[in-house]
Amino acid sequence: MEFKFSSFFFISLFIFAGFVISTKASIIKKQECKVYQPMQGFDKSKFFSGSWYTTHIQKIYLTSKDVCQKFKFQISSDGSIQQITKFYLEEIKGLINAEGPITSDSNFGDGLGVFNWTFHFVRDGKRVDDNTFTFPITVLDTDYDNYAILYSCRVIFNFLLIDELSILRRDKEAELNPKIKEVLSKAGVDFDKLSSRKSVECPEDPNF
């Protein structure tokens, strides 16, 4: 039986460089977005290259495999950036893509780790429907070669708040860089409250 996607399903799905919200409205809360200081001196060429894995995630009503995410980027000769995120979706018991461009209000000219991702959903190589979504992303810190700490938040319908904090790693099996806990602590985030990929068996696409 073909899986049908509804408009509400897409609104309740949030991926951040990352970042996923399931139809169970996993992190919808009636409160204001947190404000984190973005890193300065952000280098888009270093960050938007290669692959990243989500290894830790903070969400309310977290589903077991929300941490199962992998990111890839494509930078065109004109400097435009495309992000592809492959993640596990519990509702279909399988993998699905979120794909779309990365943009910056300053074209990254201000050196701040802040950008927007506008995406749509793709399954089996085909776009699911015409829905697109845009979410702002803040890079709290990254060393480009090992880790990145990201936060995204958006209010929908003027009262539904969707936010997510994630740790991305180049090597999902590598030892944790101590700088990660240091940055989180300064931002008022308890690392021990994040869910880890190590406790989950994540399905993977060998061709991605």
Task: Tell me the pLDDT tens digit for each residue of 46-74.
Answer: 999 999 999 999 865 566 788 999 999 99
Count CB atoms within 10 A of the CB of residue 31: 9
Distance of CA 112 to the CA centre of its chain: 18
Q: Which helix (H) or strand (E) holds 73?
A: strand 69-75
For the segment 149-206, what is each residue's pLDDT rounded down to a tens digit?
Answer: 999 987 776 666 778 899 999 999 999 999 999 999 999 999 999 999 998 999 999 9
More confident position, 154 or 108: 108
Q: What is the pLDDT of residue 64?
A: 72
CATH fold of 7-197: Lipocalin (2.40.128)
Q: What is the pLDDT of residue 62?
A: 62
Domain residues of the chain, as ranges? 7-197
Q: What is the pLDDT of residue 30?
A: 53
